Amino acid sequence: MPGEHPVVVAGAWERHGICGYDLTGQRLWQDPSRTNVEAVTALAGGRVVVTHLRRATRVLEAATGEEVGTLRGALRVIALTSDLSLEAGGGWCRLLDRSLDPLGSRIATGLNTVWCAASDGEHLAITEIGGPLRILDSDGRERARIAEHFRHVLHDPVTNSWIAVHEPSDGKNSLFRFSNEGELLERRPWDLRIRGTATMRGGRTLILITDQGGQVVDCADWSARGLQVT
């Protein structure tokens, strides 16, 4: 969590539960009673969302570990912007505001949980585990569906397009660029097997973790450079 006093919040499957640390590694707080942590998501305002196996999803103050709310039924929470998040449950998802209050009704999804999502402020793109990529209006109306499996999606504000990391069963990854109507604008094969992804700079930069290290990709022109580790 960034801020005047940055905090690292980490969860464990067993024993240690959920912990908060400063940047020196000093533990600030611990809740060992909350194990089986599946994900920790950083939100604006110094809060984190912690999802557990077969337990309610909790909202904590990152600095203290204090519980300030729960999101019942949510299996995953994805931070879209500083003011917008997405909660996903079994067969549904819903937009949340900065205070984690619902924005509209639940949006029906497939049988699988939403894996990744992105927003441009007016539209929502979601990928499901083992399912398609869908582009939706803010009210949930489907604009486009791409029947392929994508492991990551983001919105590039420079080109006003969607960037998705394609992950077929043969492992030959590619980068795709789509319009709001799902039209394929550009495709680029990626020679290295992609193991992990992250979005930075508000969608302007895509981080790809490969077997040969990290790659920093400019989403506007797909130029790439190696991630320097010091």
Task: Read off the CATH number of the domain in which 117 is found.
Answer: 2.130.10.10
Q: What is the pLDDT of residues 132-191, one digit of tens each?
A: 899 998 788 899 999 788 989 999 999 999 999 998 877 788 999 999 999 999 999 988
Q: Rounded distance, CA 125 to CA 80, Å?
A: 10
Same domain as 6, residue 94? no
Same domain as 55, residue 108? no
Same domain as 98, residue 185? yes
Q: Rounded distance, CA 10 to CA 19, Å?
A: 5
Query: Domain ends where: 56, 72, 88?
Result: 72
Same domain as 84, residue 66? no
Same domain as 93, residue 53? no
Q: Within its chain, how far is the Cα of 73 from the centroid? A: 18
Same domain as 145, residue 103? yes
Same domain as 22, residue 109? no
Q: What is the pLDDT of residues 99-125, one digit of tens each?
A: 999 998 898 887 777 889 999 989 999
Q: What is the pLDDT of residues 77-95, one digit of tens each?
A: 999 988 899 999 988 999 9
Model pLDDT, residue 195:
84
Q: What is the DSSP string of 37-103?
A: EEEEEEETTTEEEEEETTEEEEEEETTT--EEEEETT-SEEEEEETTEEEEEETTEEEEE-TT--EE
Q: Rounded distance, CA 100 to CA 61, Å?
A: 13
Q: Rounded distance, CA 56 to CA 70, Å?
A: 7
Query: Domain ends where: 72, 105, 130?
Result: 72
Per the structure, the complete domain to which residue 30 belongs is given by 1-72
> How many distinct structural domains can be found in the chain?
2
Query: Domain ends where: 72, 105, 133?
Result: 72
* Order of strands across the sheet that contains 184-189: 150-156, 161-166, 174-178, 184-189
Same domain as 146, residue 211? yes
CATH number of the domain bearing residue 25: 2.40.10.480
pTM for the whole structure: 0.83
Model pLDDT, residue 229:
56
Same domain as 64, residue 84? no
Same domain as 59, residue 87? no
Same domain as 68, residue 133? no
Same domain as 67, residue 86? no
**How much of the chain is in helix, strand and coil states, percent to nearest 5?**
0, 55, 40
